[in-house]
Chain A
Amino acid sequence: MLAKRIIPCLDVKDGEVVKGVNFLNLRSEGDPIELAKKYSKQGADELVFLDITATLESRNNVVDLVRKVAKNVFIPFTVGGGVRSVKDISELLSAGADKVSINSSALKNPKLLNDASNRFGSQCIVLAVDVKRTEGSWNVYSHGGSKSININAIDWIKEAEDRGVGEILLTSMDADGTQAGVDLEITKLISDMVSIPVIASGGIGKLDHFKDAFIIGEADAVLAASVFHRDIFPVQTVKKYLLKNGIQAR
């Protein structure tokens, strides 16, 4: 049986892993390569690296980081942040990334999703969506959560699936960094709607939250940051907990 995936997320800024609350107040969490090795050893199923500065100067550093990770870590990893073109994707994949996540630039130019999945295959194109609840529905935000886009999350994700993306990385901005649990409602809504895997993100603080995301939210994978960076519990503790609760884990 396919295992539910646990994915530590490494937000990278100026060569360091950082983490904030509700996308703000960043603090340093350590060296990306060392953390990647540590999580791989702990049994992480995948890793996600997000370049949260995503400036042109940081692009080269990210490609360099991808190359180092690929030489040291033998689990799949996704890279995102500032991916704007087929050329950017090609560069990251050649450097050793397995998947690329696209957010703001897909909202600006949705055709990028078609071009990217036709060229590289759906399996390596992840759509990252940052959503915020507003009066019973969920709105999409771009540019690291700073810019509201007048589009409903459900419509956008449906469109992205039709355009060929292979996975959805769904982050609830309301929940992110709060450690109060993922937004189960939107996670389940999206998971029921699409035929591609859904990665739930934002809000993990307790072991129960993983179980709820998988069972109630019907997520295929859960992404978390703070709880792993701050050693609140290591990945293997989460895996043991899931297995004990009848959830298939590796």
Chain B
Amino acid sequence: MIGVIQYGMGNIGSVKNALDHLGIPNIVTADKNQLSSCERLILPGVGAFEPAMNILTDLKFDVFIKEWALNEKPILGICLGMQLLLTSSKENGTTNGLNLIPGQVMPIKNAHRKIHIGWNKVEPTIENAIIPKSGFAYFVHSYACQPENKLNVIAETKYGNSFPSAIQKRNVTGVQFHPEKSQDFGLNILRNFAHASV
């Protein structure tokens, strides 16, 4: 069972629709008891970093997610959910994140438009079970993750400068794109996450 953390940030329905379509058992909830009984978690998210982090803290999801990660159980952050995994973000000042993967969230640099909207190529940089091969995925963001340790980068994408489009530290994975909106390429990534061993 995959638990999708419902904390009021963004279009969580599409993640559920994609998991349902793949036949992957899932539950969308804010109930920590129910989430605790799941094997894997997804932290979705669309919107700004600071309000999202405030909600996570208010609902004590920050502590819950950190404990989850310490227990070596898999968690996947999507889009803003990926950015929240890092130490801090420079979006509208500096805000601390969950610090599961050391690094900072910075504005996209040297790009044609300030928002990166559309399909772009995700190129794996390290052999990994979640993104075994390159393909196009759908992005919508204007900030990008910069992990301190380059070994935590598992895939890159070029928009202006190259930026990490997927990161991983043991059981903690993050993707900047929306796998639930990236047709077969994205659906495969969700399937891989549902089956990958840590």
Interface set of A (CB-CB < 8 Å, partner B): 1-3, 5, 40, 45, 70-72, 74-76, 93-96, 98, 121-124, 166-167, 195-197, 220-221, 250
Contact = CB atoms under 8 A, between A and B. Distances in A.
Contacts of B18: 74
A93 B186 CA distance: 21
Interface residues of B, number: 33
Contacts of A2: 112, 116, 118-120, 159
B136 interface: yes
A171 to B, nearest CB: 19
B183 A166 contact: no
B46 A121 contact: yes
A250 B14 contact: no
B129 interface: no
A96 to B, nearest CB: 5
B158 interface: yes
Nearest to A3: B119
B134 interface: no
Interface of B: 11, 13-14, 17-18, 20-21, 46-48, 112-121, 136, 138, 140-141, 158-159, 178, 180-183, 186-187
Contact of B119 (A95, A96, A250): A250
Given A74-B21, A75-B138, A98-B11, A1 B158 contact: yes
Main secondary structure of the interface of B (DSSP, over half): mixed
A-B pairs, top 10 by smallest CB distance, nearest first, are: A250-B136, A3-B119, A250-B119, A123-B140, A2-B120, A76-B181, A71-B17, A96-B13, A2-B118, A74-B183
Contacts of B187: 74
Contacts of B159: 1-2
Nearest to B181: A76
A74 B182 contact: yes
Contact of A70 (B13, B47, B117, B182): B13
A121 B141 CA distance: 10
A152 to B, nearest CB: 23
20 contacts: A1-B158, A2-B116, A3-B121, A45-B118, A70-B14, A71-B17, A74-B21, A74-B180, A96-B13, A96-B17, A121-B47, A123-B115, A123-B117, A123-B140, A196-B114, A196-B115, A197-B113, A220-B117, A221-B118, A250-B136
Contact of B118 (A3, A70, A71, A93): A3
B113 A220 contact: yes
Please indicate which of the listed interface residues B11, B20, B115 has the most CB atoms of chain A within 10 Å of its own CB. B11
B48 A93 contact: no
Contacts of B183: 40, 74-75
A183 to B, nearest CB: 21
A15 to B, nearest CB: 21
A71 B21 CA distance: 8
